[in-house]
Amino acid sequence: MYKRFSAVMFPIVTLLFIGAIVWGYQENQEKNSILIKAENQYQRAFHDLTFHVDKLHSELGQTLAVNAKSQGMQRKGLVNVWRLTSEAQNEINQLPLTLMPFNKTEDFLSRISNFAYRTSVRDLTKHPLSTDEMNTLKSLYQNSDQISKDLQQVREKVISQNLRWMDVETAMASEQKALDNTIIDGFKTVDKKVSEYPEINWGPSVANIYTKRSVKMLKGNPMSANEVKAKAEQFLGHKNNEPIQVKENGKKTDYESYTATANYKDGNGSLSMDYTKQGQLMSFIDTRQIGAKRVSAQDAEQKALQFLRRHNYPEMDAVRYNERNNVGSFTFVPVKDNVYVYPQQVSVRVALDKGEVTGLQATDYVYEDKNRSVPKPKLTKSQAQAALNTELNLLFDRLSLIKNDSGEEVLCYEFGGKVNGSAYRIYINADNGTEESMEEMKLISG
* DSSP structure class, residue 392: -
Structural domain contains residue 41: yes
Final residue in a domain of this structure, among 367, 400, 418: 367
Structural domain contains residue 6: no
Burial class (CB in 10 A: 0-12, 13-18, 19+), 72: exposed
Same domain for 402 and 331?
Answer: no
Same domain for 144 and 16?
Answer: yes
Same domain for 113 and 205?
Answer: yes
Cβ-contact 404, 338 below 8 angstroms: no
Low-confidence ranges of the chain (pLDDT < 50): 177-179, 446
Structural domain contains residue 7: no
Whole-number pLDDT of residue 446:
45
Domain count of the chain?
Answer: 3
Cβ-contact 46, 182 below 8 angstroms: no
Whole-number pLDDT of residue 318:
93
DSSP string, 293-309: --S-HHHHHHHHHHHHH
Structural domain contains residue 2: no
Structural domain contains residue 219: no
Same domain for 78 and 190?
Answer: yes
d(CA 411, CA 404): 10
393-405 residue pLDDT tens: 999 999 999 988 7
DSSP string, 313-352: ---EEEEEEEEETTEEEEEEEEEETTEEEGGG-EEEEEET
Structural domain contains residue 374: no
The CA-CA-CA angle for residues 365, 442, 210, to 5°, reads 40
Bin 312: left if φ > 0, else alpha if -120 < ψ < 50, else beta.
left
Final residue in a domain of this structure, among 367, 398, 425: 367
Same domain for 50 and 155?
Answer: yes
Whole-number pLDDT of residue 414:
96
Instruction: Give the three-state DSSP class for 115.
Output: helix
Range(s) of the domain holding residue 242: 225-367
Same domain for 256 and 148?
Answer: no
Whole-number pLDDT of residue 307:
95
Structural domain contains residue 126: yes
Same domain for 109 and 141?
Answer: yes
229-253 residue pLDDT tens: 999 999 998 788 889 999 998 887 8
On the CB side of 192, CA atoms within 13 Å amount to 7
Whole-number pLDDT of residue 179:
45
29-53 residue pLDDT tens: 555 566 677 778 888 888 898 899 9
Whole-number pLDDT of residue 341:
95
Whole-number pLDDT of residue 12:
63
